[in-house]
Amino acid sequence: MSPDLWSFSLDLYAKPGVEPACLALQNAGANVCLLLCGLWLERRGVTCNEQRLQQLRQLTEPWDAEVVRPLRSLRSQWKTSALQDTALNSLREQLKGLELEAERRLLERLQATTEDWPEGQRSDSAQWLQGLAANADPANRDALHQLRVAVSGT
């Protein structure tokens, strides 16, 4: 298992079925960085509780709203036009890089917040995902299941 959240996320994202699952969850309004953090915490055996869930949400929501989503929105807006405009496509690729860097910074912040949380405790392995995906569309249960399966194989 990767010791840091960024490496864990990259390793998990590279597994079969994880990218489409993450994109489906993202398109449904879930915060994938938050879900990846939850999976990482589950893997480390960190106990899930409402206070910790709230702490992670409070850290994530402003960064996501003010940094990540505006970059993603602009990148998405340019998608069709960038197919015919190489200069715009180049700018869109730069935006994609900025969006990824913004997500990396969020994952670093999430990791820093959780560093002192005790590890190695056994609990229901689905608690983190259930708590962090509580507002996710029930139609995305397959995507959440795909993430759980991918983590269990690491």
**Greater confidence, 130 or 58?**
58
pTM of the model: 0.89
CB 89 within 8 A of CB 82: yes
Residue corresponding to tokens 């079969």: 16
Query: By residue range, what is the domain housing residue 73?
Result: 5-152
- pLDDT, one tens digit per residue, over 87-100 is 999 999 999 999 99
Least confident of 93-102, 110-119, 135-144: 135-144
Domain total in the chain: 1
CB 30 within 8 A of CB 64: no
